[in-house]
Amino acid sequence: MSSSSSVPDYLRDENLTQKTKDLISSLPSEKGWLVCQMYQFQGRWHTQALLKGILTCQKQFEAKDSDIILVTNPKSGTTWLKALVFALINRHKFPVYSSSSGEHPLLVTNPHSLVPFLEGVYYESPDFDFSQLSSPRLMNTHISHLSLPESVKSSPCKIVYCCRKPKDMFVSLWHFGKKLAPEETADYPIEKAVEAFCQGKFIGGPFWDHVLEYWYASLENPNKVLFVSYEELKKKTGDTIKRIAEFLGCGFVGEEEVRAIVKLCSFESLSSLEVNREGKLPSGMETRAFFRKGEVGGWRDTLTESLAEVIDRTIEEKFQGSGLKFSC
């Protein structure tokens, strides 16, 4: 990747200790799309940098009972979920429905700067002290259920998982890559990217294992893992917020508050804010990269019918018998 692009550090392959380098050199490795090289660790494909973040997180992160961890596959609604849950749990501190909503942090700060990304933070600052965050701590991760730090699995902390229809997720990632690294991705054929996606060789992939692990975890332990979807959030945002609030034990959330949260966190509202049009994250990444179309079924303007069928066949095969359905 060119050093002039706005690709965040955690997608780069730099700044590793000898110990991490030794471990990484023992792992299966392949050239990836968007990233130079990917490594398979605990069944998932990662960049060296994200892997370093995951290893540090596994070693150092100590979950607290009151923690809330938002989990997604990349491009499955992370930004939106961060905004919604931040607004929800901080609604007393930062009212969303009164005139003071003019001072709401979400109006002046990108959701990624309000909710720390575990493995990204651990990559950039391995000694970051998460205990300094105010309670309840709200964080997000793309780490698979299998690779979560032990304390997250064993503590009563809460996990909210958001999944998205794979074709929209793929297309979102495809455009994100083009925006982030236009020079590196210009000549990369979409057919090859679809092939890699369907072989599971994408950042954090296979995507189906990621989704299914959390899906089954939510069925086995519904008090610990709440499973929601991007599509459900689109169709019934208010009802889904109420479901999340109930799961998190947030107490009563009035209809007016729910409506105000829906509005504040809507694609139209967030994407039109200056901080999300012109801003940059500390990593240098432009915040507008997180807002494109925000639609369900938007894959149609990017994927041909035959490429869509390739993904559909993979979905059919991998999710068979799980009870999860991804129509259209």
Q: How far is the CB of 21 from ligand PAP (least distance, A)?
A: 26
State yes or no: is 142 an active-site residue. yes
Identity (one letter) of the amino acid at 220? E
- Is 79 a binding residue for ligand PAP by CB under 6 A? The answer is yes
Handedness of CA 309, 313, 318, 322 (dihedral sign): positive
| Cross-strand bridge partners of residue 41 | 44
Measured from the CB of residue 267, what is the shortest distance to ligand PAP in angstroms? 4
Question: Which three-class secondary structure state does DSSP give residue 29?
Answer: strand
| Minimum CB–partner distance for residue 107 and ligand PAP (Å) | 13
Choice from 128, 281, 298, 302 touching ligand PAP (CB under 6 A): 298
Residue 168 near ligand PAP by CB under 6 A: yes
Q: Are 240 and 173 in contact (CB under 8 A)?
A: no
Would you state the structure tokens that stand for residue 5, as one six-digit string? 């692009």
Q: How far is the CB of 13 from ligand PAP (least distance, A)?
A: 19
Cβ atoms < 10 Å from Cβ of 291: 18
Q: Is residue 294 at the binding interface for ligand PAP, with CB under 6 A as the rule?
A: yes
Lateral strand order in the sheet of 68-72: 138-141, 68-72, 158-163, 225-229
Distance CA 141, CA 145 (A): 10
Smaller CB separation from ligand PAP, 21 or 293: 293
Quick check: 185 binds ligand PAP (CB under 6 A)?
no
Element (H, E) at 139: strand 138-141
Of the candidate spans 36-44, 72-80, 125-133, 315-323, the one that interacts with ligand PAP by CB under 6 A turns out to be: 72-80
Whole-angstrom Cα distance, residue 294 to residue 271? 10
287 makes contact with ligand PAP (CB under 6 A)? no
Q: Of 142, 145, 175, 210, which one is the catalytic site residue?
A: 142
Q: Which stretch binds ligand PAP (CB under 6 A): 90-98, 127-135, 220-228, 289-297?
A: 289-297
Active-site positions?
Answer: 142
Q: Kindly list the residues in this chain that would bind ligand PAP in the complex (CB under 6 A).
A: 72, 74-80, 168, 172, 175, 265-267, 270, 290-294, 298
